[in-house]
A and B are shown apart, each in its own frame.
Chain A
Amino acid sequence: MGGLSLAKQLVDAVIADFPDHKPGTRPIHTIGVGVEGYFEASDVAKTYCIAEHFQGPRVRVQVRFSNGSGSPKQHDGWSDVRGMATRFHLKDRATDLIAMTLGEFFVRTVEEFLDFTGHAHQTPISRVPLLQKILAMIQFKVFQRDPYPEQVASGDAGTLDYANKHRFAQLSVVQAGDIGAPVSYVRASYHAVHTFIITGPDGVRRPVRFSWKPVAGVRTTDPRDPPVDVYLKKELENRLDQWPARFLLMMMIGEPGDALEDPTQPWPARRVRVVMGTLTLTNVAKDQEAASEKIGFNPWRLVPGIEASGDPILFARRDAYQESQQRRDATPCPFHGS
């Protein structure tokens, strides 16, 4: 299967999971907000990686926070994975780091991804009858949460079925089912999930995984409260009017034997963890069309010092993101010289 036809297939598969998908918008992470700020590398970052944004001087960044759904309807308060795509603007180019609130991905290969998205089709849902809930309780089983107001379909049953048949998907499915809604986009941890290979000034190459850790701390909304559909952008505007928001960029260094090419596998918490820098977000971008809708990120927009690992999902994302950007007429950002 060719790269482009596979990319088309991947994008189509994702779109098929959201029947109300609006052509011209992102297939997932459709609703988002563009934010501006800067990144400052830590003192030790340059000893691990020669990439330009880790050398010290302040670097301008654009960040797009997003809700995971591919639906054009905004439901900030629904339990959902959130995204944080960051563009570092360097001297004569740019590099992206794409992260999400889920620590691991659902599948290991493109074939599994297509199978998974096939399972994740939306199916009608309704509230579980009271007696069934009580029956589940006495069996110490989880029962499906009540649908949100206006929610008539969900992909949860299919993803659960997939996870019950495929152990590698179990961790991410459990975590996604329990992820909740953040009280703020800057009160969640975001993980880049895939392994990248960095090169230090001494030529040493290390496998690493990146995560953004919010200085404001992690907090989700109370699931007992009725979900609010629209609040995350306003909350960010109000917050940044008062004070900047910050994230630490943490980098975990893998060891031989760790899953370098399998994004479903977490690395042990005992791995060396390095503070690579601080991201400071100063304001919500005025031009949201450019900063959120048209901007096109790609996990393969890398600079010397950072390479993609052999992770097949990471590999597939390069063309899939390109394909998606072409379909929605996003602002082109070449891999070099942007």
Chain B
Amino acid sequence: MGFVDKLHKFVNYELPKSPFFLWIAAKILVPFWAWRTPVKPLPGGPRYSVQPGDNVQRMMNLIMPLKDKSPVGRARAAQAIAANKDEIYAGLDNVGTVHFARFVIVDDNICMFSVYDGDFTNYIRDFIATIGSVFDSVVELVEGGKDVIPSEQNVEKFIDWVHAHDLYQVPDTVTDILRDQEAAGGDTSGTNDLLELPREIILQLHVNPNVSLGSGYRAYPGYSVAQVRERFGIGW
């Protein structure tokens, strides 16, 4: 392989990953293109749907920044979950539309990831009714959370707050992000050039740093909690 060939191979595969280019990209190129062709952050939460299969096993991915960004603050969040274990399980059993729910601490964020059936607002409404006190004890530790608690007295405000913290769900099909940006009026580049697709994605992740990738793998797609429980003889 000659020198020029090696140079091309370097530019093709090594330069884009090199610390030099990554530094230039982060410090100069991203800010420049974000200024030149700004995009709006795409809204989080599940997509509007009317088909049965789209209404089951929906994802909620909440990333909530803690007010106290120290080990003490993180411990307080962990304690809030641990102290409410009975309330959480009782609520999940009774709501009956949740496949999985997990609380996770990532850096200085308390996160709640869940897979549920049905409408998002009803899902949150059900939880406010059954375990609103648990939400309150977690949300009061989160930036901006004080304004929406107690949740039972701020139902709609609380739902909006949760929705605002729910991550944008990047479509399974990569080109659909262009359609999402157009639909949201969040694409000012006006491009229809597929070669610019990487930039569109970079700029969206610039304004929307935390996203959910794809609609998620499901081992038994299309079935609700109620159907699974009924089929296995473990409940309604």
* Interface set of A (CB-CB < 8 Å, partner B): 127, 130, 133-134, 136-143, 145-146, 160, 163-165, 167, 170-171, 173-174, 224, 253, 255-258, 266, 268-273
Collect the chain A residues with CB atoms within 8 Å of residue B51's CB: 255-258, 268
* Interface set of B (CB-CB < 8 Å, partner A): 7-9, 11-13, 15-16, 21, 24-25, 29, 33, 50-54, 56-57, 172-176, 178-179, 192-199, 202, 214-218, 221-223
Structural contact, A269 and B218, CB atoms closer than 8 A: yes
Collect the chain A residues with CB atoms within 8 Å of residue B179's CB: 167
- Among A127, A133, A140, A163, the residue within 8 A (CB) of B33 is A140
Considering only CB atoms, which chain B residue lies closest to A129 in the complex? B8
Distance in Å: Cβ of A174 to nearest Cβ of chain B = 6
Collect the chain A residues with CB atoms within 8 Å of residue B221's CB: 269-273
Collect the chain A residues with CB atoms within 8 Å of residue B15's CB: 134, 137
Collect the chain B residues with CB atoms within 8 Å of residue A256's CB: 51
Collect the chain A residues with CB atoms within 8 Å of residue B178's CB: 170
Collect the chain A residues with CB atoms within 8 Å of residue B25's CB: 140
Collect the chain B residues with CB atoms within 8 Å of residue A141's CB: 195-196, 198-199
Collect the chain A residues with CB atoms within 8 Å of residue B197's CB: 142, 174
Distance in Å: Cβ of B218 to nearest Cβ of chain A = 7
Collect the chain B residues with CB atoms within 8 Å of residue A164's CB: 192-194
Structural contact, A271 and B53, CB atoms closer than 8 A: yes
Considering only CB atoms, which chain B residue lies closest to A142 in the complex? B195
Known: A141-B195, A164-B193, A171-B173. Is A272-B53 also a contact (CB below 8 A)?
Answer: yes
Q: How far is the CA of A145 from the CA of B214 in the complex (A)?
A: 27
Collect the chain A residues with CB atoms within 8 Å of residue B196's CB: 139-141
Distance in Å: Cβ of B45 to nearest Cβ of chain A = 15
Structural contact, B195 and A160, CB atoms closer than 8 A: yes
Q: How far is the CA of A268 from the CA of B216 in the complex (A)?
A: 10
Collect the chain A residues with CB atoms within 8 Å of residue B175's CB: 167, 170-171, 174
Structural contact, A270 and B222, CB atoms closer than 8 A: yes
Structural contact, B195 and A268, CB atoms closer than 8 A: no
Could you pull out 22 A-B pairs where Cβ atoms are within 8 angstroms?
A133-B11, A134-B15, A137-B21, A140-B196, A140-B202, A141-B196, A142-B195, A142-B197, A146-B8, A160-B194, A167-B192, A171-B176, A224-B9, A258-B51, A268-B51, A268-B172, A269-B172, A269-B217, A270-B57, A271-B222, A272-B53, A272-B223
Collect the chain A residues with CB atoms within 8 Å of residue B16's CB: 137
Structural contact, B12 and A146, CB atoms closer than 8 A: yes
Known: A140-B198, A270-B54. Is A224-B215 also a contact (CB below 8 A)?
Answer: no
Q: How far is the CA of A79 from the CA of B195 in the complex (A)?
A: 18
- Among B7, B173, B217, the residue within 8 A (CB) of A266 is B173
Considering only CB atoms, which chain A residue lies closest to B30 in the complex? A140
Q: How far is the CA of A270 from the CA of B197 in the complex (A)?
A: 25
Distance in Å: Cβ of A71 to nearest Cβ of chain B = 24
- Among B29, B176, B214, the residue within 8 A (CB) of A269 is B214
Q: How far is the CA of A271 from the CA of B57 in the complex (A)?
A: 11
Q: How far is the CA of A253 from the CA of B52 in the complex (A)?
A: 12
Structural contact, A130 and B11, CB atoms closer than 8 A: yes
Distance in Å: Cβ of A60 to nearest Cβ of chain B = 31
User: 6 closest A-B pairs (Cβ-Cβ)?
Assistant: A272-B222, A140-B199, A170-B175, A142-B195, A255-B51, A141-B195
Distance in Å: Cβ of A334 to nearest Cβ of chain B = 38
Q: How far is the CA of A230 from the CA of B12 in the complex (A)?
A: 25
Collect the chain A residues with CB atoms within 8 Å of residue B195's CB: 136, 141-143, 160
Collect the chain A residues with CB atoms within 8 Å of residue B9's CB: 224
Given contacts A130-B7, A145-B12, A174-B194, 13 further A-B contacts (CB under 8 A): A127-B8, A137-B11, A165-B192, A170-B175, A170-B194, A171-B176, A173-B194, A253-B222, A255-B51, A255-B52, A268-B51, A268-B215, A270-B218
Q: How far is the CA of A145 from the CA of B11 in the complex (A)?
A: 11
